[in-house]
Amino acid sequence: MSTLVCFHAHPDDEAIATGGTMARAAAEGHRVVLVVATDGAYGEVPDDLAEGETLSDRRREETVGSAKALGIHRVEYLGYRDSGMTGWDGNDDPASFWQAEIDEAASRLAAVVRDERADVLTIYDWHGGYGHPDHIQVHRVGKRAAELVAADLPDLRVLESTMNRDHFRRGVDAARELGEDLGPDGLGGDDGFDPDGPMDDGNPMGTPEAEITLGVDVTDYVFRKRAALTAHASQVSDQSFFLNMPDEMFAFAFGREWFIEHDREPSSDGPRPGWLFD
């Protein structure tokens, strides 16, 4: 049995980015731990908050449901405030994750990784997939945490979760051919979603396939991923595009999760089909 720790920016990121991997690891008997950096306070505010209930309270509760769907054994929060998208006021909030001192945040994550004696830690790629400040910070803090635990856990492997830009483009092209409406109500942009267009920080989304080393097949777990997304009910209009996808399209888009392993060279044949613990 191995232990997997997945580090994410906001409640609900776990479902879409590494949900299949976590569900598969749990189903195979591994221990799965989720660490969430922020409270997700910039999410959508539902109409039915109870007296005294905050959005963060609600999102924690929803994360319990998501964790249940994915088979996650432990959920920890680092306790930072959501920083919002690039340029938002929240970027300057001293309590935000974006303003957090890297070493301080990394030591909080490192405490969990050490306590769990983790075998694998997942973080995000250098621009957090789409440039959201909190996602960029997951990369920076995650890398630093790995350095902090290196002496205690010399075999810890750090994998960067990313989106496969080429795979996404193929999916978008196939969906357009089938006449699926991909925008403006789909993934944004007047002409529909363009995987090569600028994201939050001006870079295109994810990583070119040629730089990705590992593609994890989670086809058997996409139903759990869908259930985890559904558990984040307050954020559902953000996710309705994904949740409304026909099963086949959802399986194409989310049946594989992509990682960059810096201890392996990318292959000219594309990402290696494999598993975290291979």
The residues that touch Zn ion, with contacts defined as CB under 5 A, are: 9-10, 13
Q: 13 with 134: CB under 8 angstroms?
A: no
Q: Please, which residue, 16 or 182, has the CB nearer to Zn ion?
A: 16
Q: Please, which residue, 13 or 119, has the CB nearer to Zn ion?
A: 13
Q: Please, which residue, 217 or 238, has the CB nearer to Zn ion?
A: 238
Q: Please, which residue, 93 or 180, has the CB nearer to Zn ion?
A: 93
Q: 146 with 30: CB under 8 angstroms?
A: no
Minimum CB distance to Zn ion, residue 82 (Å): 8
SS3 9: coil
Q: Please, which residue, 10 or 225, has the CB nearer to Zn ion?
A: 10
Minimum CB distance to Zn ion, residue 190 (Å): 24
Beta-carbon contacts of 264 under 8 Å, excluding residues fewer than 6 positions away, are 213, 214, 272
Amino acid at the residue 159: L
Minimum CB distance to Zn ion, residue 11 (Å): 9
Minimum CB distance to Zn ion, residue 267 (Å): 30
- With b for 16 or more beta-carbon neighbours within 10 A and e for fewer, the 210-227 pattern comes to eebbbbbebeebbebbbb
How many Cα atoms within 13 Å fall on the side-chain side of residue 9?
31
SS3 186: coil
Q: Please, which residue, 9 or 260, has the CB nearer to Zn ion?
A: 9
Minimum CB distance to Zn ion, residue 229 (Å): 13
With CA atoms as reference, report the closest residue to 113 among 4, 223, 249, 247. Answer: 4
Nearest residue by C-beta to Zn ion?
A: 10
Minimum CB distance to Zn ion, residue 130 (Å): 9
DSSP secondary structure string, 233-251?
GGGHHHHHHHHTS-HHHHH
* φ, ψ dihedrals at 162, nearest 5°: -145, 170
